[in-house]
Amino acid sequence: MASTDIKPLVTHIFTADPSAHVFSGKLYVYPSHDVSTDIKDNDNGDQYAMNDYHVLSMEEVGGPVTDHGVALALEEIPWAGKQLWAPDAATRDGKYYLFFPARDKEGVFRIGVAVSDVPEGPFKPEPEPIEGSFSIDPASFVDDDGEAYLYFGGIWGGQLQCWTSGEFDKAAYSGMEAQSGNALYPKVAKLSKDMLSFDGVVQDVIIFDKEGQPLAASDHDRRFFEAAWMHKYNGKYYFSYSTGDTHYLCYAVGDNPIGPFTYGGRILEPVQGWTTHHSIVEHKGKWYLFHHDTSLSGKNHLRCVKVTEIFYNKDGEIKVTPS
């Protein structure tokens, strides 16, 4: 089924970048909340000028969706200047954590965390961003052994290319990304037991092709751009992401949460609109791909979240139709 044929989850607000999780048997979706703006589309992503987050929930896919209202607002976050982009959530020891990127007051993207006693929030932000965090699109993953990880990164407007030296280099922004050598790697860090900080160093998430070579920077059909997600299927770790300017959702498979990962294929062809972003979750015995397109507005920055069932073939490959 084409993405445009799928109904948006909600139509009373614009939503994007859906991170879906099952908490206590119920499906929760943590999206971006897109807003109208006069800012013209540009490669920096200035038109994505979001100011708050809403949490959505449903008992099952296809059932009524509840919007729990504002879960966190920009003005409540002491360090944030603008642009609340794609968030994610996790739970540990009875608390719920909302991870979110924002530009700080100097215009540098950092990742923050906010805490609640309930999955729908509201969430109380920590006063500072996570120490050592940078760039955008945090995706949390709690493994079966209880260890938690945060994946992140996004190039171009997401500024990942500015961090190759370990320090923020504004000058590196102008090149957007190098076109030779290996592609820029997304990042992963283990989370501390209290989920509020990184436990150890930020590591590269390396994606090899099937010949064992790291994906090349020029390989725009397969290289990582933004929108990291991690899920586990049949004991394998699936790292999925957007290729940005070529508009695919792709995945790579590994034997542990840190990788390395081997490129596995495409999950979704380009949808209507420039960005594509997703999450993958199991609920009531079925696997779902949450994603977005612009079918509700026709505008790149006013998106709507959708969901479709996905399947695995006997080799563990992801398919949008059963095989």
Q: Which residues are catalytic?
A: 17, 226
In the bound state with ligand FUB, the residue whose beta carbon lies nearer, of 58 and 139, is 139
Q: With CB under 6 A, what is the number of residues at the site for ligand FUB?
A: 14
Beta-bridge partner residues of 141: 149
In the bound state with ligand FUB, the residue whose beta carbon lies nearer, of 117 and 221, is 221
Report if residue 293 touches ligand FUB, rule: CB under 6 A.
no
In the bound state with ligand FUB, the residue whose beta carbon lies nearer, of 39 and 60, is 39
Q: Name the residue among 215, 236, 219, 237 with its Cα closest to residue 228.
A: 237
In the bound state with ligand FUB, the residue whose beta carbon lies nearer, of 9 and 86, is 86
Rg (CA), the chain: 18
The Cα–Cα gap between 124 and 114 comes to 5
| Site residues (CB under 6 A) for ligand FUB, limited to 100-159 | 136-137, 154
End-to-end CA distance of the chain: give it in Å, rounded: 15
Token representation of residue 304 = 């709507």
Residues 149, 189: contact at Cβ < 8 Å? yes
The least distance separating ligand FUB from the CB of residue 54, rounded to whole angstroms, comes to: 14
Report if residue 67 touches ligand FUB, rule: CB under 6 A.
no
- Per CB under 6 A, the list member of 3, 15, 19, 32 interacting with ligand FUB is 32
The least distance separating ligand FUB from the CB of residue 247, rounded to whole angstroms, comes to: 11
The least distance separating ligand FUB from the CB of residue 60, rounded to whole angstroms, comes to: 26
Residues 14, 297: contact at Cβ < 8 Å? yes
Token representation of residue 102 = 């924002």
The Cα–Cα gap between 270 and 144 comes to 33
- Per CB under 6 A, the list member of 14, 28, 30, 85 interacting with ligand FUB is 85
Q: How far is CA 79 from the centre of its chain?
A: 21
Report if residue 304 touches ligand FUB, rule: CB under 6 A.
no
In the bound state with ligand FUB, the residue whose beta carbon lies nearer, of 48 and 198, is 48
Q: Which residues in 284-321 are b (16+ Cβ under 10 Å) and which e?
A: eeeebbbbbbbbbbeebbbbbbbbbebebeeeeebebe
In the bound state with ligand FUB, the residue whose beta carbon lies nearer, of 16 and 268, is 16
Report if residue 184 touches ligand FUB, rule: CB under 6 A.
no
The Cα–Cα gap between 41 and 300 comes to 8
- Per CB under 6 A, the list member of 71, 162, 227, 296 interacting with ligand FUB is 227
Report if residue 277 touches ligand FUB, rule: CB under 6 A.
yes
Q: Name the residue among 152, 142, 146, 47 with its Cα closest to residue 97.
A: 142
What lies within 8 Å, CB to CB, of 287 at 6+ separation is 233, 280, 281, 309, 310, 311, 312
The least distance separating ligand FUB from the CB of residue 110, rounded to whole angstroms, comes to: 13
In the bound state with ligand FUB, the residue whose beta carbon lies nearer, of 123 and 241, is 241
Burial zone of 6 (CB within 10 Å; 0-12 exposed, 13-18 middle, 19+ buried): middle
The least distance separating ligand FUB from the CB of residue 5, rounded to whole angstroms, comes to: 21
The least distance separating ligand FUB from the CB of residue 306, rounded to whole angstroms, comes to: 14
What character string, x for contact with ligand FUB (CB under 6 A) and - otherwise, covers 235-274? ----------------------------------------
Report if residue 88 touches ligand FUB, rule: CB under 6 A.
no
Token pair 């929108």: residue? 227
Question: Which residues of the chain form contacts with ligand FUB (CB under 6 A)?
Answer: 16-17, 32, 45, 48, 85-86, 136-137, 154, 226-227, 275, 277
